[in-house]
């Protein structure tokens, strides 16, 4: 029985599988907590974007902040993807995974001069500039290195993506991008600076977006600006439409990537801009539903008004519930005979905010394992070592094969760079 929204997660009899492998077997082999990802699920998600863009000049740049494991980056690099990065460290990861810097766009509001120099030296495709101060700094760095930095301006269209306020990025009250009404003046300034080459325009309005309308509204505002900028004599060869497409966590019904991108391309064509190169920056929609977090039940505890299922994964392993009050489906890896009860699923970290799910109906007993679904995005990439807890191991699954793609951290590794006083 395949789980809704998770075509690569299914019960075969009473045992939960990822692709062709029982999650209990993976947990027994690699331990828990354990992140497990389906390579096939990632490539199927990518294929929707690739089909939509077939025949167009385009570049799909995986937004690697969603999941930056080297094997994940390698998977997308081998499939023709570029990368959307937000730090110098992410650029080093791309290169270590075999990615091509010439297929990298560098986003983020706080690029340092050292990161700018690093990216220039590596030869990134484009800097997505997010402020006037950044524009001036990048020009200085480029001139100092005898180079010209290729830039697009990330424009803030003041469009409500109708998502969680922490992951909304396209409103004028957000820190991201250049205000729509300032963009033409900033493009004029960019075109006049000797260390810069204007190559496009960028827009990104948020994350976990489940409707097409905000994208189309933002696109119309961006195309209005494209026409004004080109009327001023500044060419914009590419349109970077960002990312942010949501996935199913509960009952969300986001548009399929192919349908959404098709609608955006139709709008672009209708307004006479079909000749431009299209860039997209999907992240969560490529990896979110490809991953699960497997954790083992330690204790069952009655707290009077609540029952607690205490597991060996915690908020340091999966921050989304504590940070965003995010709902992520939780299921048993083996359907057993224990009575079904309502539990708050919590971890061992010394915080009341350490919970993975509230009021979940589960039939489990100590020693059983459960799986948190849709954990491929912003799970391991946001994990920490709070309470001196080593981060989980990671495994990539492809059909009946599995590879360890990250070792579990040992405590000694966590304080290896620290020093006692004399």
Any idea which residues carry the catalytic annotation? 350
Please report how many Cα atoms fall inside a 13 Å half-sphere around the Cα of residue 369, on the Cβ side: 23
C-alpha torsion sign, points 249, 26, 36, 44: negative
Helix (H) or strand (E) holding 316: none
Q: How is residue 332 written in tokens? A: 């048993």
Q: What is the pLDDT of residue 160?
A: 59
Q: What is the pLDDT of residue 2?
A: 78
Same domain, 334 and 274: no
Q: Is residue 88 part of a domain?
A: no
Please enumerate in sequence order all residues whose Cβ is within 8 A of that of 402, keeping only pairs 6 or more positions apart, or say none.
Answer: 21, 26, 29, 36, 395, 396
Q: Is residue 53 part of a domain?
A: no
Q: 152-185, pLDDT tens digit by residue?
A: 999 988 775 554 454 444 445 566 689 988 999 9
Q: What is the pLDDT of residue 206?
A: 84
- For residue 7, give its domain range: 2-38+288-414
CATH of the domain at 243: 3.20.20.10
Q: 196-226, pLDDT tens digit by residue?
A: 999 999 998 888 999 999 899 999 999 999 9
CA distances from 284 to 63, 95, 149, 331, 372 (A): 8, 21, 29, 21, 16
Distance CA 88, CA 106 (A): 9
Q: Is residue 405 part of a domain?
A: yes
A 10 A CB-CB count for 340 gives 9
Q: Is residue 60 part of a domain?
A: no
CATH of the domain at 349: 2.40.37.10
Name the average pLDDT for the chain: 94
Same domain, 351 and 405: yes
Number of domains in the chain: 2
Q: 29-43, pLDDT tens digit by residue?
A: 999 999 999 999 999
Same domain, 277 and 296: no
Same domain, 304 and 189: no
Q: Of 256, 282, 308, which one is at a domain's C-terminal end?
A: 282
Same domain, 234 and 316: no
Q: How is residue 159 written in tokens? A: 């469009």
Q: What is the pLDDT of residue 167?
A: 40
Same domain, 152 and 216: yes
Same domain, 264 and 294: no
Same domain, 267 and 186: yes
Distance CA 205, CA 172 (A): 10
Please enumerate in sequence order all residues whose Cβ is within 8 A of that of 420, keeping only pairs 6 or more positions apart, or say none.
Answer: none
Same domain, 294 and 255: no
Dmax over CA atoms of the chain, in Å, equals 72
Q: Of 282, 306, 333, which one is at a domain's C-terminal end?
A: 282
Q: Is residue 270 part of a domain?
A: yes
Decide: 156 and 174 in contact? Cβ < 8 Å: yes
305-323 in b/e burial notation, b at 16+ Cβ within 10 A?
Answer: eebebbbbbbbbbbbbbbe
Decide: 94 and 102 in contact? Cβ < 8 Å: no
Low-confidence stretches of the chain (pLDDT beneath 50): 163-164, 166-171
Q: Is 117 exposed, middle or buried (0-12, 13-18, 19+ CB in 10 A)?
A: middle
**Residue 291 bridge partners (DSSP):** 37
Q: Of 282, 302, 326, which one is at a domain's C-terminal end?
A: 282
């Amino acid at each position: 029985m395949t789980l809704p929204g998770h075509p690569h997660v299914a019960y075969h009899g009473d045992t939960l599988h990822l692709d062709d492998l029982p999650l209990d077997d993976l947990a027994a082999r690699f331990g828990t907590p354990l992140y497990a990802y389906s390579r096939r699920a990632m490539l199927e998600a990518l294929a929707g974007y690739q089909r939509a863009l077939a025949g167009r000049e385009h570049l799909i740049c995986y937004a690697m902040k969603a999941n930056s494991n080297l094997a994940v980056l390698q998977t997308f690099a081998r499939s023709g993807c570029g990368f959307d990065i937000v730090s110098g460290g992410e650029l080093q990861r791309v290169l270590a995974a075999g990615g091509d810097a010439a297929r990298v766009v560098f986003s983020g509001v706080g690029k340092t001069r050292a990161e700018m120099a690093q990216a220039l030296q590596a030869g990134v495709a484009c800097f997505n500039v997010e402020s006037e101060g950044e524009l001036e700094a990048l020009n200085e760095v480029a001139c100092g290195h005898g180079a010209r930095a290729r830039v697009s301006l990330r424009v803030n269209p003041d469009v409500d993506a109708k998502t969680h306020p922490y992951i909304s990025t396209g409103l004028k009250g957000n820190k991201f991008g250049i205000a729509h009404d300032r963009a033409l003046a900033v493009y004029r300034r960019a075109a006049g600076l000797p260390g810069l080459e204007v190559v496009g325009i960028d827009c990104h309005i948020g994350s976990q977006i489940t409707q097409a309308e905000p994208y189309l509204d933002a696109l119309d505002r961006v195309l209005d600006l494209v026409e004004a900028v080109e009327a001023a004599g500044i060419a914009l060869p590419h349109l970077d439409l960002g990312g942010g497409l949501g996935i199913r966590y509960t009952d969300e019904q986001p548009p399929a990537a192919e349908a959404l991108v098709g609608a955006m391309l139709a709008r672009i064509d209708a307004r006479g801009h079909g000749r431009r190169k299209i860039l997209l920056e999907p992240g969560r929609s490529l990896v979110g539903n490809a991953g699960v977090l497997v954790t083992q039940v330690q204790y069952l505890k009655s707290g009077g008004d609540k029952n607690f299922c205490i597991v060996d994964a915690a908020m340091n392993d999966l921050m989304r519930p504590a940070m965003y009050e995010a709902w992520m489906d939780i299921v048993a890896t083996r359907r057993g005979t224990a009575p079904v009860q309502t539990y708050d699923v919590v971890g061992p970290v010394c915080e009341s905010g350490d919970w993975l799910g509230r009021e979940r109906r589960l039939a489990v007993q100590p020693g059983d394992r459960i799986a948190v679904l849709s954990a491929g995005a912003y799970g391991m990439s946001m994990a920490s070592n709070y309470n001196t807890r080593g981060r989980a191991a990671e495994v990539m699954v492809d059909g009946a094969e599995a590879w360890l793609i990250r070792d579990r951290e040992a405590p000694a590794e966590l304080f290896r760079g620290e020093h006692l006083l004399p």
